[in-house]
Structure 1
């Protein structure tokens, strides 16, 4: 069977009102400034950067991750306000969480050891956030974008009950599986 490479990543993907509010902000940035790249995936907090995996062994990936996530407990997170990385990324800020940091570190150690995946710089310098605009954001117009986004507010409590596996399908990222955390 030939190896068919596919792209995946792992993230916390809120559903309901949080997803709707973040998507609404992304759509507003598209309507006003033609910033549309962030709409290629649902609003999320990345916990393992995109990686390639043989699509023919997708079930093996899911099974190994299912075993990894099995002992982890559900936990609370808080979204509050906005921040940015330089003049290239605008995001909803996530309040510090030792539980999330520990989960992310354990996941990346597991992925390196058991799945033979490389750790990206973003995996090592973890800064939880939910992106609103990036990639097509023009640094020369950053002040305009930032002024607009800071007229908004974003505050939400998020009970993290699962971690999603996303896959790139036809140019968009879609949740293909959710690993349930213990409640």
Structure 2
């Protein structure tokens, strides 16, 4: 049975995405790292999972059903954080609505036999990754020293959920599900 890899996230609006892209570009130019370019800027709600090609349409249909009454969520980005020694990210302020949305997605995923919602029991730490994968320890520390005191403050209205699909090299938008503004 043929399978594809997906993940579910929330992407910032285009102007903010471009601002985050410039940070990734800065790291690529200064340090030669490119791992964060494999996907658009996003907050992960469900980490990567495999899904049968035959189940894709049903999956999207059922996901839309659980999101039908989900209201957009105001999110605040606030400076930089890290998962030492391999990930540097933009922090998302604590948000009860976002936590409830993630738990709802996690419960939904169990219906499709996906159980990795809180990888290694680390819980849900919403963030937007700006450097990872090809980030080695010495480079990690150089970048962290550069950003640990840097200010990054932005707000945005999360008014859609995006399902990303892996194309073999990077992640493409597979389906964007608009949230109910009512």
| TM-score computed with the length of structure 1 as normaliser | 0.93
**What is the rounded CA distance, in whole Å, between the counterparts of 2:69 and 2:81 in structure 1?**
32
Cross-structure match for 1:137: 135
Which deviations, in whole Å up to 9, do the C-alpha atoms of 1:55-102 show, x marking residues without a partner?
Answer: 232111110111111121111000010010122110000000000001
Shift of 1:150: 3.8
Cross-structure match for 2:164: 166
**What is the rounded CA distance, in whole Å, between the counterparts of 2:68 and 2:117 in structure 1?**
24
Cross-structure match for 1:153: 151
| TM-score computed with the length of structure 2 as normaliser | 0.93
Structure 2 unaligned residues grouped into runs of 5+: none
Which deviations, in whole Å up to 9, do the C-alpha atoms of 1:14-65 show, x marking residues without a partner?
Answer: 1211100111111111111011001000010000010000123211111011
Structure 1 unaligned residues grouped into runs of 5+: none
Cross-structure match for 1:58: 56
Cross-structure match for 2:97: 99
* Number of residue pairs aligned between Structure 1 and Structure 2: 180
Q: Equivalences for 1:1-183 in 2 at 5 Å?
A: 3-112=1-110, 114-122=111-119, 124=121, 125-150=123-148, 152-183=150-181
**What is the rounded CA distance, in whole Å, between the counterparts of 2:10 and 2:51 in structure 1?**
20
Tell me how large the CA RMSD over aligned residues is: 1.5
